[in-house]
Structure 1
Amino acid sequence: MERKLTYTTWDEECVNKNLESIKDTMDVIRWTYREYGDKVVYACSFGIEGIVLIDLINKINKKARIIFLDTGLHFKETYELINKVKERYPELTIKLIKPSLSLEEQKNEYGDKLWERDPNLCCHLRKIIPLTKELEGNLAWISGLRHEQSPTRKHLKFINKDDKFKLIKVCPLIYWTWEDIWSYVGLNNLDYNKLHDENYPSIGCEKCTVPVENNRDFRGGRWSTSKKTECGLHG
């Protein structure tokens, strides 16, 4: 029986053996579904990278599972886009994952506007805990991270050992540039969140995302009133 690359079996020899066939993005995606089958899920934010990766995944596996962390605080444009994507790829399973606490329950337990007072806790409650539960029983998860997005993402490889979720994290788009992403969207006539046209390079929850003057400051509009730069899903 072929040995699968898993969190608990991770070692350099195993990694090198399993990555021999990987040459580019499509090879990464093919390898991922060949290696993990239905034990891999793509956690998508439905930003512009996510739209590209969904289209690429659909070319390899039309039955793939896509999950979206529905905090209840996203822009209406994001929900509208999700509906368009569902129509375009009817065979994909796209599941919206909600936190155990409603916004009203969170307000009663932690106080109003937690995202302003303690954004780390808000992300933990509404993103990290739900994703942790949803990833249970899987061996790997896919992410649309790119090296160009921030200094903290430059170290990523195609295949990564994820110590937070105790899984293998696959990042097929690490070498894509902003221009690559938009070229692919244009060539394939893909729907995307129209907030990108209004200087939102990265789109998260409505309460914590603002437009930026420089559209190449990929994370500049996220949690702009604090030192926070990541929601915690990626370290």
Structure 2
Amino acid sequence: MENIDQVLADQPSIQEAILRLTQTFPGAVAFSSSFGQEDQVIADIIWRHALPVRVFTLDTGRLFQETYDLMDLTRARYKQPFEIYFPGTSAVERLVAEKGVNSFYDSVENRKECCFIRKVEPLNRALEGTKVWITGLRSEQSDNRQNMPAIEWDEQRQLYKYNPLIDWSYEQMLAYLDEHNVPFNKLHKKGFISIGCAPCTRAIEPGEHPRAGRWWWEQSQKECGLHSH
């Protein structure tokens, strides 16, 4: 297996980097999209250049209607398929039966339990057999993402994680969306910078951190467990 550092040693463009990764790991490169602005940038690069990357998303069952609308709009725009993974029915039924529909408001532990059932477990299923996982993470998004490299080894899942936008600024991202007329969630225009599940996301006020609107009722690192180190 070719050393992945050598594949990206000359700091190629995102398009070229993804192409090289698909050539190094044929049929084993996947991109997870939550249909946020960053993810729409990467999806546009993948589909506009016909890169052989499997694209998937997670439907937690608690998403905003605007997110579902964007899924349909994106499908219509690019005419490309993407896979949708759902949480296990029995696990959700057990959680709701034991703790209620909104147990995540009661404690950080309950919230992380809900995130694990609705997001982490489906993600782990989606990544089975994958060698390279492409994400839309940016270092500005949260404190624990500031030191993330562009390429890293995910020991838990035994795969490489490629974060092509990790050094992009918010302004760079918006400029790309505008230049290429990429569809994005209407909620972004209403103060929702980071969009997750509907009951766990609010708009932020001017000057607030971009992740302040996620799980706003708790003091935490504002992570769901998908990208924990």
* Matched position secondary structure for 1:169: strand
* Matched position secondary structure for 1:37: coil
* Alignment pair present for 1:84 and 2:73: yes
Other-structure match for 2:18 = 29
* Matched position secondary structure for 1:22: coil
Other-structure match for 1:142 = 134
Other-structure match for 1:95 = 83
Aligned residues, how many? Answer: 223
Name which of structure 1's ranges 15-24 and 182-191 shifts more when overlaid on structure 2. Answer: 15-24
Map Cα deviations across residues 47-74 of structure 1 (whole Å, 9 max, x no partner): 1111111001113335532111100000
Other-structure match for 1:183 = 175
Other-structure match for 1:204 = 196
* Matched position secondary structure for 1:38: coil
Other-structure match for 1:11 = none
Map Cα deviations across residues 101-151 of structure 1 (whole Å, 9 max, x no partner): 265553114433122231100000011111111211111111000111122
Deviation at 1:24, TM superposition (A): 3.4
Distance 1:62 1:162 in 2: 23
Counterparts of 1:1-235 in structure 2, within 5 Å, are 3-4=1-2, 14-90=3-79, 92-101=80-89, 103-117=92-106, 118-214=110-206, 217-228=209-220, 229-235=222-228
Deviation at 1:218, TM superposition (A): 1.6
Unaligned runs of 5+ in 2: none
Other-structure match for 1:10 = none
Map Cα deviations across residues 57-107 of structure 1 (whole Å, 9 max, x no partner): 1133355321111000000000000011111121x3311110012655531
Give % identity: 34
Contact 2:201 2:215 in 1 (8 A): yes
Distance 1:108 1:25 in 2: 45
AA at the equivalent of 2:88:
S
Name which of structure 1's ranges 103-112 and 114-123 shifts more when overlaid on structure 2. Answer: 103-112
Distance 2:46 2:101 in 1: 39
Distance 1:128 1:208 in 2: 16
Contact 2:60 2:119 in 1 (8 A): yes
Name which of structure 1's ranges 202-211 and 112-121 shifts more when overlaid on structure 2. Answer: 112-121
TM-align CA RMSD: 1.8
Unaligned runs of 5+ in 1: 5-13
Name which of structure 1's ranges 103-112 and 174-183 shifts more when overlaid on structure 2. Answer: 103-112
Change (3 A) 1:166 1:109: farther
Deviation at 1:215, TM superposition (A): 6.4
Distance 1:86 1:196 in 2: 19
- TM-score w.r.t. structure 2 length? 0.90
